[in-house]
Structure 1
Amino acid sequence: MGNIASSEQIFATWVLIVIYAAVVLYLVIRGAKKTQNLDDYALGTIGFSPVAVGLALAASVTSAATFIINPGFIALYGISGVISFGIVMPLAIYISLIIMTKGFRKYGETTKALTMAQWIGKMYDSKAFAIYFGFLSLLLITFIVLICVGVTQVLSKALNADPVWVLTVVVAFVFGYMMFGGANSMIYTNAIQATIMLVVAFILLFSGVEYFENGIDGFLEQLAAVDESLVKTTNPSSFLFRDYFEIIYCQFVIGIAIVCQPHIITKSLLLKSKNDINKYLLVGIIALSVFFSVVFVGLYIRLYFPDLTINGTKMPMDSLVSYYVVSKFSVYTGLLVILGLISAGLSTLEGLIQTLSTTITSDLMDPIVGKRLGFDSPFKKIFFNKMVIILLGVVSFLLSYQQLLSPNLSVGIFAQNGVYAYFSAAFIPVLFGTFFRNVSFKSVFAASVTAIVVHFSVYYGHITAYMQETINNPAIASTIAILSSLLVGVIMHFIEEFRKVKTEDVY
């Protein structure tokens, strides 16, 4: 496809990477000094401000998917994608955050839960349920892969470097420093990253201002001249935005449930007190509103590359943002944008590594082999947590390498399938645990298993007319899974309540 970065861009990018790495390592070393055990690694020892945690929340929710991958979908499919990814899903996420955060934090604080699996296990008084969710958490590796691929695409284009070597360095560096700092360093790096992301979001959003010389109508006319389907609110030729069921209904359900990811909902446990929740949510939602609007840049990309080719070669969807940044901006503006894109990826990657490694160590290894490995010692537990991070790094590298070489259109589909399955299974246990009392373990366990079975059955079994393409929409499978899970959970709950009433009547 050819190299597009100039020698000046390459040199400036290397300087940026060195400075960025130095700042991150300084914060990690500072945080590591205060990390004495796994509790410190998971929740930190510092009293974090609601502004810092709110910015960390926003950075964790959006990530490389919003800044690097999703604009590619919009470049391909147009306004229908903006409605889905830029309006409906964010609105549902805000509603879910506002409704669920207070209840989750209240119970999480009283149980001293470090992870989502622990929260669920303690809520339903079942160690087996915590172990079950520990295993389910492994599905989140797919999201780690998305971020690794996204960051690799950006850096490899900016450096004119082999993506495999870039991927190797990214994985080694990020997984390496996450072995030490944990929450004590992550909240500060996330807050700094989110601030950079805010600046970069505005740069990206204003990068297409010339397309609005004749107003919104003129902008839409330019898009229609490229492809009329780009300006329509549905896009039957796509596999994600074919009708309003996919664009609105499914995305709203997904947005409500997406909050039930451990690196998102557990952020509230880092607040000093319940009085900080409103400020935390306000800061987080304002920042999120800016971040989610970045998907609109996909429309600029389509106008900048009407046929989505460069030097006569078709660009992969996951590389569209990278090519746009390197081609469109001056060296130093481009450098700042690249910094923002890296920040978007690493902010979430840090949270995923932290929560997933803590879950594997505390919720899988500890109850199964903890005594044999000497987990009574905080230092041994931290040591094995570091070994888990190394193993996660190796697995993530291998899966990312495969997605770089042969993605199914986009690494986004691979990630959605895994992540959507996870939060489909988590949604009912978190929802019922947050808002209802005396919910039986049987009800939520049946609901959770139903969600997993239905999600993968619909997706891989090609169930429903929507799932008959070579590339299918994981949101369809997840929506059906969540609704099936809700139905099973409610029915089981009422059956259990009916049995209790009958038993009380007998006695």
Structure 2
Amino acid sequence: MTPEIFKYMVTLAYVVLVFWLSWIGMRRTKDIRGFSIGNKDLNPYLIGITLAASISSTATFVINPGFVYSHGLSAYIHYGLAGSLGILTAFLVLTRGFLRLGESSNALTIPQWIFYRYNHRGLSLFFAFINLLSITFVVLILVGCSLLVTGLFPIEQKTALVLVLVFVFSYVLMGGTYAHAYTNTLQGVMMLGITVLLFAQGWKYFAGDPVAALNAVGQGYGDVFNGSSDLYFDFFSVFVSGFVVTFALMLQPHILTKILYLRSERDIGKFIGTTVVVGSIFTLMLMIGFYARLAGLEVANQDAVVRDYLLFEFGSSLWGEYMLALVFLTLLAAGMSTLDGILVSLSAVVVNDIVEPLFGSRYNGLLLSRIVLVMVGVLGVILAWNPPPLIGLFAQKGVYGLAAASIVPILFGVLVRRHIPLWVVLGAALIGLTAHLGLNLSGLVKNPAVSASYAIVLALGYGFVGLLATRAGAPDKQIDYIPS
């Protein structure tokens, strides 16, 4: 069998398997609740793998290694070490309380959760609309996946964009959450295998001394704080912003709502343990940025570092061409594992938290959620058709803004037992969103993680002042659902 035939055969086998899993999911999806969060019958280990794959995706597997390639060790620590600690801390702090309130209120989405916690429809509508900022991450994934497809098949990037979207939509439209969970488990296992393989295969470029190899690249490249970098140059930009913004990113709808898949609190330990272990292994993909730099590759487009490295590493031998097909296919699966989750969560938000509150429930929710999926996908392709340079920074502008706006309403909603006035949570949300966008879009702060972290600190400060000013307030009616 030639490598060309093998490439098409494994791709076809992957497509068939994904559609089979989606068909199983479709049989178990009967209504909008099942489409959004399932029927509380998913295994916690499966949910953990699903979540780890959703968190990692195209950012970790395709785009972020480009930052490591350009900025060195400081970028690796920012995304790998500080980010992993942020993820672990977020789930340890939030999981139990969020699940309790979510189960008691039967919430399907984060805006709906916020409505039940604060009992204010206007606040939940505000969050429903700003959750649409997640479309920037859809653009990142579409661009990253299209770059991989062009490395695997002889087609143009715009054609690849459409093919990726059509494929993901076709299986998510069938089964919603079940299709997302089943296919993500398959994709997560594939991602684990390829991550370990690529990490081990590229270690040779360190020549037995990683520190010396990185320092030899250039001044600052092997430093924890890269003084020559405009993004990762001090303790705050490397450690603090990486931890803070990743903690806040766990509040994204396609991530935090995974907690609502759990059957009970007994599953929390298995869920968190699986997520952290699998997610930590996935961060080893960032090493490709080092490998590409040490191999001497000159890559003009930072976003294409992974694609160009793989073609360089595996494209010159017969065995390598077989491996290339498997690796590219797995990296595509990594992107799709997050794209399908975002699409499911966005469609659920639009239907549950925008359409029904504004226009009533006279529409078929399941049908409408699938229509919304198509609309979101079309918008994503339009934005990705002529993508901006450094697509990673573009996506961070939008997603980090959502994270900065969400931190106080969700964190305080889980941890604070008493009633929190609307002006406290809404004010903090507006401060987080506007401060991040103002600092970053004005050019005052180039790194979106830094601008978002400043915004989060301001929002938290405002929130704590608001709590102190209202400490004699009446107990909240949701007090029983919040952990002590």
- Bin for the TM-score computed over the shorter chain: over 0.9
Question: What corresponds to 2:64 in structure 1?
Answer: 70
Amino acid at match of 1:144: V
Deviations 1:390-441 (A, max 9, x none): 11111000111121xxx23x11001000000001101111111101122222
Percent identity over the alignment is: 32
State the Cα deviation string for residues 84-130 of structure 1 (Å, max 9, x = none): 11111111211111111111111111111000110111110111111
The equivalent position to 2:268 in structure 1, one of 262, 277, 287, is 277
**CA contact 2:172–2:179 (8 Å) conserved in 1:** no
Aligned with 2:221: secondary structure? Answer: helix
Matched residue type, 2:311: V
Aligned equivalent of 1:323, options 308, 312, 326 = 308
Amino acid at match of 2:420: V
Contact 1:152 1:167 in 2 (8 A): yes
Asked if structure 2 preserves the Cα contact closer than 8 Å seen for 1:9 and 1:159, the reply is no
Q: Which residue of 1 aligns with 2:350?
A: 360
User: CA shift at 1:360, angstroms?
Assistant: 0.6
2:191 is aligned with 1:183: no
Matched, 1:385 2:374: no
Pairwise CA RMSD of aligned residues? 1.7
What SS does the aligned partner of 1:402 have?
coil
Counterpart residue type for residue 496 of structure 1: T
Give the aligned residue type for 2:248: A
Deviations 1:469-488, CA, capped at 9 Å, x for gaps: xxx21112101111111111
Unaligned regions of 5+ residues in structure 2, if any? 315-319, 476-484
> Equivalent residue for 1:425?
405
2:23 partner letter: I
Over 3 Å counting, the alpha-carbon distance change for 1:340 and 1:238 in structure 2 is same
Relative distance call for 1:155 and 1:10 in structure 2 (3 A) is farther
Q: How does 1:337-348 map to 2 (within 5 A)?
A: 337-348=327-338
Corresponding position of 1:226? 217
Query: Shift in Å at residue 359 of structure 1?
Result: 0.2
2:449 aligned with 1:475, yes or no? yes
- Deviation of the 1:498 alpha carbon: 4.8
Query: Of 350, 353, 370, which residue of structure 1 is paired with 2:340?
Result: 350
- Cα distance between partner residues in 2 of 1:146 and 1:236: 28
- 1:40-95 CA distance string (max 9 Å, x none): 10111361111101101111111110010011110111111111111111112111
Q: Counterparts of 2:15 and 2:40 in 1: how far apart (Å)?
A: 23
1:120 corresponding residue in structure 2: 114
Q: Does residue 1:412 correspond to 2:402, yes or no?
A: no
- Tell me the SS of whatever aligns to 1:179: helix
Q: C-alpha distance in 2, partners of 1:81/1:477?
A: 16
Distance 1:34 1:278, change over 3 A: same
SS in 2 for 1:425: helix
Cα 1:492–1:223, aligned 2, differ >3 Å: closer, same or farther?
closer
Does the 8 Å contact 2:7/2:322 carry over to 1? Answer: no
Contact 1:146 1:415 in 2 (8 A): yes
Q: Tell me what 2:379 maps to.
A: 395
Question: How many angstroms apart in 2 are the aligned matches of 1:424 and 1:79?
Answer: 26
Q: Which amino acid aligns with 2:464?
A: V
Is the 8 Å Cα contact of residues 105 and 269 (structure 1) preserved in structure 2? yes
Q: Residue 500 of structure 1: CA displacement?
A: 6.4
- How far apart are residue 227 of structure 1 and its match? 2.2
Counterparts of 1:432 and 1:45, CA distance in 2: 28
| Superposed displacement of residue 13, structure 1 | 3.0
2:459 alignment partner AA: S
Q: CA–CA distance in 1 between the matches of 2:295 and 2:465?
A: 53
* 2:425 counterpart (440, 444, 457): 444
Deviation at 1:212, TM superposition (A): 3.9
- Displacement of 1:450 after TM fit? 1.2
The alpha carbon displacement at 1:209 in A equals: 2.5
Tell me: CA distance 1:33–1:220, structure 2 relative to 1, closer, same or farther (3 Å): same
Correspondence list, 1:455-474, <5 A: 455-463=436-444, 467=445, 472-474=446-448
Alignment check: 8 A CA contact 2:206 2:213 kept = no
Q: Distance in 1 between matches of 2:278 and 2:473?
A: 48
Report the CA distance between 1:204 and its aligned residue.
1.3
Distance, in Å, in 1 between the alignment partners of 2:26 and 2:259 is 21
2:139 — aligned with what? 145
Is contact 1:53–1:270 with CA below 8 Å preserved after alignment?
A: yes
For residue 28 of structure 2, give the secondary structure of its aligned residue in structure 1: coil
Q: How many Å apart are 1:185 and its aligned residue?
A: 1.9
Partner of 2:35: 41
With the length of structure 1 as denominator, give the TM-score of the two structures.
0.89
- 1:263 equivalent to 2:273? Answer no
Instruction: State the number of aligned residues.
Output: 469
Partner of 2:279: 288
* Structure 1 residues 248 and 442: alpha-carbon distance in aligned structure 2, compared to 1, 3 A threshold: same
Distance 2:145 2:471 in 1: 50
Cα distance in 1 for partners of 2:412, 2:404 equals: 13
